[in-house]
Amino acid sequence: MLNYSLRRLAWAFPTLLLLITVAFFMIRVAPGGPFDSEKNLPAEIEQNLNAKYHLDEPLVQQYFRYLGQILRFDFGPSFQYRDWTVNQLIAKGFPVSLSIGALAMLLSFTLGTGIGTIAALRQNSILDHGLMGFAMLGISIPNFVIAPLLILVISVYMGWLPSGGWEWHWRNMVLPVITLAMPVTAYIARLMRGSMIEVLHSDFIRTARAKGLSEITVIRRHAMKPALLPVISFMGPALAGLITGSVVIEKIFAIPGIGSFFVQGAMNRDYTLVMGVVIFYGALIILFNFLVDLIYAWLNPRIHYK
């Protein structure tokens, strides 16, 4: 097991290196620099600025300098938000993004597996078709369509919840979390239904029923764990989906998380900030995938760690 984990972890490094390299060079081949927008900057001052940020060095040297910085977890200064480093911005936005993302993840996992199980138990009934039709709706309607509609109905017409903004209060979290969780919930529900149906047709379930266990015990003790495996392995892509979704959700609900910094940074060509967010989230996804792999291997008795 330890061997297996270490090998999985070893693969994370080339992945991360590729991520950083692509992000770095993609930004650097772009025309223009971070100080181009300054009005009539005297040549000496621009030189000083470039020297301060080491922009006058050869590109390869800058690349290795940046790698060195990242090894020390330093993403450098933000070019747009003066007086802020990218680290500070991420530290400021991440708790907000994390709380919404984690809640959405939790909601979609419990709701998705629940709906999937119910649909599987009532396969081909009206309930099943209804739930799956609803899940298809969740997959098909993009969350940037659902979010404004929810705001329009629940906040503007009904006035039940705030339409945006951020305080650490549940009222500000309900709509963003629901919108963010919707597509992931739908996907998990479909996945869970499929795998649960498959598991329910297997021999060990027949055995469990034959020895007289109640249906609930059969599901809980025997069917649940193997049926959850595909859902577990979907959690990695689910996180990536949640992060992508949060970019839009944070923009719509005016939430000061990392996603909104990213969009702002992209618009303002704040290259260090954009790169910092890409690398930070990329690393997060890689780390999470690694954890999911471990959990999967641990849950699945059929995997033998080589």
Partner 1 sequence: MNGIKDQAIEVDPDRGASAGMDAFSQALDVPHVKGRSLWEDARHRLLKNRAAVFSLGLLLLMLVTVIVGPWLIPWDADFTDWDNIYSAPSFASGHFFGTDAVGRDLFVRTLLGGRVSLLVGMVATLVSLLIGVTYGAIAGFFGGRIDQVMMRIVDIFYAMPFMFFVILLMVVFGRNIILVFVAIGAINWLDMARIVRGQTLSLKSTEYVEAAVACGATPFDIIRRHILPNLMGVVIVYITLTIPQVILVESFLSFLGLGVQEPMTSWGALVNDGAQDMESAPWMLIYPAIFLSVTLYCLNYVGDGLRDALDPRDRI
Q: Does 182 bind partner 1 (CB under 8 A)?
A: no
The piece of 50-58, 164-172, 206-214, 278-286 that touches partner 1 (CB under 8 A) is 278-286
Q: Which of residues 205-234 bind partner 1 (CB under 8 A)?
A: none
Among 47, 61, 207, 244, binds partner 1 (CB under 8 A): 244
What are the helix (H) ranges across the chain?
2-28, 43-52, 59-71, 86-121, 126-140, 143-150, 170-200, 203-210, 215-217, 224-252, 258-267, 271-299
What six digits make up the tokens of 163?
């339409």
Give 36 or 48: the residue with its C-beta nearer to partner 1: 36
What six digits make up the tokens of 286?
């890689």
Q: Does 294 bind partner 1 (CB under 8 A)?
A: no
Give 75 or 262: the residue with its C-beta nearer to partner 1: 262
Dist CA 239 CA 194 (whole Å): 21
DSSP letter (8 states) at residue 255? -
Beta-carbon count within 10 A of 134 CB: 14
Q: Are 200 and 118 in contact (CB under 8 A)?
A: no
Site string for partner 1, 144-163 (x = CB under 8 A): xx-xxx-xx---x-------
> Which residues here bind partner 1, judged by CB under 8 A?
11-12, 14-15, 18-19, 22-23, 26-27, 29-30, 136-137, 139-142, 144-145, 147-149, 151-152, 156, 194, 197-198, 201, 240, 243-244, 247-248, 251-252, 262-263, 266-267, 269, 274, 277-278, 281-282, 285-286, 289
